[in-house]
A and B are shown apart, each in its own frame.
Chain A
Amino acid sequence: MLTSLPPFIVFFIGALLAALTRGAVRKGILIGTPVVGAIMLLNATHGIAVQVEILDYTLIVHRIDKLSLLFGYLFHIAALIGVIYALHLRDTIQHVAALLYAGSALGAVFAGDLITLFIFWELLAVTSVFLIWARRTERAYRAGFRYLIIQVLSGVILMAGAALNYYATGSLAFERFDLQHAGSWLILLAFGIKCAFPFLHNWLTDAYPEATPTGTVFLSAFTTKVAVYALARGFPGTELLIYVGAVMTCFPIFYAVIENDLRRVLAYSMINQVGFMVCGIGIGTDLALNGAVAHAFNDVIFKGVLMMSMGAVLLRTGTINGSELGGLYKSMPKTAGLCIVGAASISAFPLFSGFVSKSMVMVAMLEQGHPWLWLMLLFASAGVFHHAGIKIPYFAFFAHDAGFRVREAPGNMLLAMSLGATLCILIGVYPSALYRLLPYSLDYVPYHATHVIAQMQLLFFSALAFTWLKLSGIYPPELPSINIDAEWLYRRGGRRAMCALAAVFDSADAQWRVTANRGLQALRSVAFRSHGPGGLLADAWPTGRVVWLVIATLGFVLIYNYISR
């Protein structure tokens, strides 16, 4: 029964084999792993395929339904594109970590209970951090540690939530939770950290841009999408999420406009896209949930294309700062073209993939009577085009010529980007290919004149605004800088608070030490009197004196007992 084998096993075996091999053999294994996994998944039947009894618990290791299958297919596609993109590397750590990481993501989406989910949740953190550390710089090392701490913390909160949930409901099942008790709130918090909810989001913008060019491509595909899946499974129709999602769509775009590191711009843009998904999950209608997961599907692919193009730029030029780049269309025209396809998709241009999924969430938002939130999403849609659709390609490939004359991206990278770009257009032109895979019933036509015209107006006038701002000199220039975000609280504020606390503690500590020292001194002099040289108790006593002492003691005991009778 090979088809019932959980896909993570295929990936873990693939990782083991990749670790033991070199050269062409390893390349074959890297590509073969997602292909074999995908073939097995295509033949899988719905239901609980694998469950394990441990102690009194039944762990559902492999649950297959339309929702988990959609993410299963998606992660196989992402893994395949990712390994092709990483094929030129000779870095065992990255190859192995990538396969383990992809496998962990697959393990998480097919998990049917909270214990299994927790295991893969933590494995996601532990395997992916090596893709950051593989950059082998001090910055990456530190960023990786911050990332690891936050990710593992999310897992610990998940475990605590699962335990409380079990206590309250007697069930470990990973199904829909209602926010009636502390356990489900903790589970929501754990999902929220991985999902980059506002104020919990900085691990993403901190760590992803510090990873290797190939590492970021993998990172951008899995962690947040596992979290979106988990939210869609555990909290569909939770109204709170509509508001959280709407905030997520809006605040990152401001940061994206003034951010210099173009991969960090994409990281902020990722929070913005996940915001649309969180909104859809919060709305919770069939249309909205379909829109959320369809958008997750498309986002992995178009964000992958954008991240890959920026990775290629970083590989060839050695920098990814908007302030240092420009004019690369001259030496990397193919990368530029593929980047533009990704940019058009994320901006939701008609005939590109983002259009057919994002509009579902937008329509559902209006249908459910949230006109103001709809305006927020519309604002965010214009903003996406502004910072991801225009800014990324413009500052990297056009703008002023920074003078780089580099080689085009390696063939394997171009192939990976082309695969992604092809999927972006294929899904955009022929959306029913994706719609067929969606988990809930769907009656939706994306290519309606109303939608198409409205979207074109929104986007072209956003482009017009960019042009006007740029020509009039109002547009903020790219500057070598960073911007303070919520992470300040733990990267600076936390440290300062610790220092202040330490200062208070230090003086109290010094006081206490002086007092304690005096006490010890006094004790010491007492001890010295009795135990020091010539002290009564320190003397070596002759045997005779000891015998007398024993006789005296025994005599005392005898007399005492006699009298007390």
Chain B
Amino acid sequence: MTPPDRQKHLFDNPSNTKRVLYALYAICAALLAVDFFYHRHISHPWEPLWGFYGLYGFTACIVLVLVAKFMRKHLMRRDDYYDAD
């Protein structure tokens, strides 16, 4: 066996995890704020909507995960499903 690990690692400290999360929130807020100032060259009718890309990405991922969870209800089998006969 490998010897027990006594070293403290980066994310053993919960406040480091918090820092990462706060950084993420700050970046998201900043990216939303950019939409107030920047007028993009658009090629799709939805693009000029405020916060379109952010909201689309956020919603897309929520929908993705919820649908995947729903699929799991019907499609998930034991991992030896195909071996068991």
Residues of A participating in the B interface, judged by any CB pair closer than 8 Å: 139, 253-255, 257-258, 260, 329-331, 363, 366-367, 371, 374-375, 378-379, 382-383, 386, 398, 405-406, 448-450, 453-467, 469, 474-476, 479-485, 491-492, 495
Contact = CB atoms under 8 A, between A and B. Distances in A.
Closest 3 CB pairs of A and B: A465-B61, A457-B53, A257-B68
Nearest to A380: B60
Contacts of A375: 46
Contacts of A254: 64, 67-68, 71
Contacts, number: 155
B65 A481 contact: no
A477 to B, nearest CB: 10
B31 A374 contact: no
Interface residues of B, number: 54
Contact of A476 (B28, B41, B46, B65): B65
Most chain A CB inside 10 Å of its own CB: which residue of B11, B25, B47: B11
Contacts of A329: 9-11
Interface string B54-71: 111111111111111101
Contacts of A456: 31
A476 B61 contact: no
Nearest to B61: A465
Contacts of A253: 64
B53 A454 contact: yes
B2 interface: yes
A482 B82 CA distance: 9
B78 interface: yes
29 contacts: A139-B83, A257-B65, A258-B71, A329-B9, A378-B60, A379-B60, A382-B56, A386-B61, A398-B11, A405-B2, A405-B3, A406-B2, A449-B38, A450-B40, A453-B31, A454-B40, A457-B57, A458-B53, A460-B57, A461-B53, A461-B57, A462-B60, A464-B58, A476-B69, A481-B78, A482-B82, A484-B77, A491-B82, A492-B82
B57 A367 contact: no
A453 B72 contact: no
Contact of B44 (A260, A371, A465, A495): A371
A460 B28 contact: yes
B61 A469 contact: yes
Interface in B1-53: 2-5, 7, 9-11, 21, 24-25, 27-28, 31-32, 34-35, 38, 40-41, 43-47, 51, 53
A552 to B, nearest CB: 71
A45 to B, nearest CB: 40
A141 B51 CA distance: 51
A386 B61 CA distance: 7
A482 B72 CA distance: 9
